[in-house]
Structure 1
Amino acid sequence: MTLTTYANAIAFIELIVAILKDIQLVPGLSLWLIIRVGIFVPIFWGLFLFVRSIWFRSAG
C-alpha cells in the first residue's frame, strides 16, 4: 500500500465521518443530505481523480 493510497483511504474515511456527523446533527434534513451527497461526491471524486492523474503525469 503506497503512501498515496493510504492518504486517499484516510480522506475517504474522514468524508464518511463528516457525513455521519452531519446526519446526527440534522436528522430532519436526511433527504437533502442524500441529494447533496449524490450530487457532490461524484463531482469531487472526479475532480480528485483528474487532479491526481495530472499530478502523477507531472511527477513522472
Structure 2
Amino acid sequence: MRVVLNNGQYKITIPKDLAEEKGWGPGTKIRFVEDLDGRVFLKVIEAKPKEKKTLIPKIKKKK
C-alpha cells in the first residue's frame, strides 16, 4: 500500500485482492481504528447499499 496526498487529503490504495476478499468496493466506508498498543485496524462503518444484509429472508410471491 502507499499513501498519496490528493486535494489536501491523504489516500491509501487497498490491494484489489484484499478488497475483493473482504467484499469491499467503491462506496464502502472504512475507518482506521488504533488500539492501545498503537496497532491500526480497518473497520467497515458502512457497506455499499447492495451489500447490506438483512436477517429476514425475502419471501417469493406465488404466481
Bigger fraction of residues in helix: 1
Higher RCO (C-alpha under 8 Å, 6+ residues apart)? 2
Q: Highest Rg: 1 or 2?
A: 2
TM-score interval, normalised by the smaller of the two chains: under 0.3
Q: Which has the higher strand share?
A: 2
| TM superposition score normalised by structure 2 | 0.20
- Alignment TM-score, normalising by the size of structure 1: 0.20
